Amino acid sequence: MDKRQIKVFDTAGPCVPFKRYMLPVLPRQPEVEVMIAGEHYFTLHGPRQSGKTTYFMAIAKEINDEN
């Protein structure tokens, strides 16, 4: 039996790119990186299951990888 991970579409919880099909999230909100670098407060708001948690997980990973 083949043990390769098969990607599927998902509508619940944060997306994991190697398990799920997804569009890149970081290019969608480039101004957020500027606000974070400038130590400004901001709010990201959107309907449920629109990618808010996935976006914040990706931006946190990018910031942690830089340091």
Encode pLDDT of 11-67 as tens digits: 677 777 777 777 778 888 888 889 999 999 988 888 887 888 888 888 998 889 987
What one-letter code names the amino acid at 61? K
Token couple for 30:
């480039």
pTM for the whole structure? 0.67
DSSP assignment of 4-46, as one string?
A: PPPPB---SS---TTTB----SGGG-HHHHHHHHTT-------
User: What pLDDT, on a 0 to 100 scale, did the predictor assign at position 3?
Assistant: 66
The pLDDT score that the predictor gives to residue 2 is: 58
Q: Of 64, 59, 56, 43, whose CA–CA distance to 14 is shortest?
A: 56
